[in-house]
Amino acid sequence: MKQPRLRLLIPVAFLLTLVAPGLRVLPGGEYLPDLWLLLFLWSMPDPTGLPLRKPIMLIVILGALRASVTALTPFSAWAGLSVALLLRVHLQRLLVDARFVARFLVGWVASLPLLFFDVQAAWRLGISPDLGVWLVRSLWVGFLWALALRPARVPIYVEGPPIARRVRGAELGK
Amino acid sequence: MRRGLLQAALLAFVCLQALWPLRVIENLTNQLVAPIAAWLTPSAGFIAEAVALVTDSHPEWEPLEDPDGLIDWERRLGNPPPVARLAWLEVPVLEVQRRAGRLRIAAGRDFGLALGQAVVYGQQWLGRIQEVEDHTSWVELWNAANARTGVSLEGETASIAGVASGMGPSGWPWIRWMDPKAEPQDGMNVLWRRREQDPRNLDDLELRLGSLRQEGDRERDAAAWVITHEMPPGAEGRVYIAAGAVGSSLVAEPTIRRGPASVSLFRDATLGAKVASVRATRGGPAAVVLQEGRVIGPVVVRRGNHLWFLRRSPGDWREEALALDPEAERLLQLEKGEAFELEGAQLYTRGAGMIPRGLPIGSIRDPQRPLEQGELEIVARQGVGGGSS
């Protein structure tokens, strides 16, 4: 998958931030997943071997944008997104992406750090968050992640015969 | 390798700050985010308001009978009777340290306070001035650990002199010394006994401490006389200090700042309807948000002029509020549950740190007030830190 550029991601993140409180007002809106986390997971490839400037910049920007429409500290988002990326990368290496359940598991587990840091921050503010609602939000992340990472994008032919590997390499632009 | 370590350290710092925030870093970050929030928060609020399909119900609120009720009652219950050649200086309490048995009060050298001055509430002895600063002082309560107070045990026929020693939060104060030939009895009234340097006229007040009770096993010679008592709830709000000479003002009320505000975001994008944001039209301290003269929630986060506050119904205030029972002439603490049985009890802020005492919250059974534009204020007690503990 081609990595989206920051100049595209930042306006999208701005737009998401503008509409996020409105979406929470909708019926059932409280169950919707964290939009900034979804955007981040979707836009970040495996950063191993790549310069970390882009993921770090995106984490900082998304955290700051999120903090302008929530009372939660931006550190909650920064920590949650960073650990989410680490977990996602490690789990993707362990699990076979071709299966829906595996992809769902990867997305769901990756959403848990943000949930954890958010719940901690909410408690510190004197709010008892409804954990059921927050769990549904994280399950949504898993579900949407499983849908977003369609099998066609999974490099299943990489381990195949040389001709298939070359075809896959060409697809990836290598 | 070095780069990897740096990244790991950065991640560890962010995680630690998220879990155990340092206030300095948190405030700095909020300042950095403030310019983004200044533009995004109201814009997002406008969109959220426009697309709102679910509106709050609009329950009726009873009109508030007496907005200054708590302060009036505290004065009525707490002002001691006049004593010849003495004046009573009324000083609001800024902070209550229950464990340490101390009160921080809003007067110091500026009101001529001195060490050892007597502090009372009504006819209840509270303690003495322990430390004097420029604008505040500390009062050591008589029941603080190891605080010693001269007492007089008053029975129907006998009067016994003794010395009481405080135990702090671990138990009732006990009688450390009394006349060995005396025969104290359960239920004796315990009055304050003045020291040589105290004004003689204070004796006329018959300041009370509590009631005498014997605890422990008398047969094993392991019994002690203790003083059961209850600190008057009004003494958390204001105390009275006996002074031979006072300045032009007898009330040391701290400055309370008020400023208009407007709603910038009705719901938090992550925490939902429990949290909302208002925009203060000017800077300065902010502790609570008022709507139509009633407190609707405490401010928890400040990012520039945008303040995030918790939306509370009156019953949610719990230990941060006091209920006034006008018929029984007493103040009720919500954590003891009595106030919930009282029909129509009016709640007021208890006051802690920057939250002023005595701000009206509403009737205990009132539902959460729908947040609306107009008649919003932010209020704070100025120049105060800390809180109840």
Quick: pLDDT tens for B243-278: 876 666 667 777 788 888 889 898 899 998 889 999
User: Residue B274: its chain A contacts at CB < 8 A?
Assistant: 127
B163: helix, strand or coil: strand
Sign of CA dihedral B59, B65, B71, B75: negative
Please count the residues of chain B.
389
Question: Which of A17-31, A95-109, B135-149 shows the lowest mean pLDDT across its residues?
Answer: A95-109
Minimum-distance CB partner of A75 among B29, B40, B298: B29
Residue in B with minimal Cα distance to A20: B269
- DSSP per residue over B307-342, as a string? EEEE---GGGGGGGEEEEETTTTEEEEGGGSHHHHS
- The whole-number pLDDT of residue B300 equals 93
Distance from CA of A163 to the nearest CA of B (A): 37
Please check whether residue B304 touches A, CB under 8 A: no
Please check whether residue A78 touches B, CB under 8 A: yes
User: Residue A20: its chain B contacts at CB < 8 A?
Assistant: 44, 269
Cβ(B267)–Cβ(B310) under 8 Å? no
B251: helix, strand or coil: strand
- The whole-number pLDDT of residue A135 equals 94
Low-confidence ranges of chain B (pLDDT < 50): 54-64, 385-389
Q: Residue B100's beta-bridge partner residues?
A: none
Q: Which of A38, A57, A69 to mutate to test the interface with B (most CBs of B within 10 A)?
A: A69
Angle at B339 between CA B141 and CA B98, to 5 degrees: 20
Give the orientation angle of helix A53-67 with respect to helix B23-50, to 10 degrees: 70
Per-residue pLDDT of A111-168, as tens digits, reads 999 999 999 999 999 998 899 999 999 999 999 998 887 655 545 444 544 444 444 4
- The whole-number pLDDT of residue B93 equals 87
Please count the residues of chain A.
174
**Spatial separation of the C-alpha atoms in residues B127 and B129, rounded to whole Å:** 7
User: Residue B370: its chain A contacts at CB < 8 A?
Assistant: none
E strand or H helix that includes residue B140: strand B137-141
Cβ B50–A24 below 8 Å, yes or no?
no
Distance from CA of A98 to the nearest CA of B (A): 31
| Chain centre to alpha carbon of residue B176 | 31
Cβ(B230)–Cβ(B183) under 8 Å? no
**Spatial separation of the C-alpha atoms in residues B21 and A124, rounded to whole Å:** 10
Cβ(B128)–Cβ(B139) under 8 Å? yes
pTM above 0.95, yes or no: no
In the chain, the amino acid numbered B337 is: G
What mean pLDDT, rounded, does chain A reach?
83
Cβ(A91)–Cβ(A105) under 8 Å? yes
- The whole-number pLDDT of residue A152 equals 54
A residues 2-31 near B, CB within 8 Å?
14, 17-22, 24-27, 30
Please check whether residue A169 touches B, CB under 8 A: no
**Spatial separation of the C-alpha atoms in residues B380 and B366, rounded to whole Å:** 24
Instruction: Please count the other Cβ atoms lying within 10 Å of the Cβ belonging to residue A37.
Output: 26
Cβ A68–B7 below 8 Å, yes or no?
no
Please check whether residue B6 touches A, CB under 8 A: no
Please check whether residue A55 touches B, CB under 8 A: no
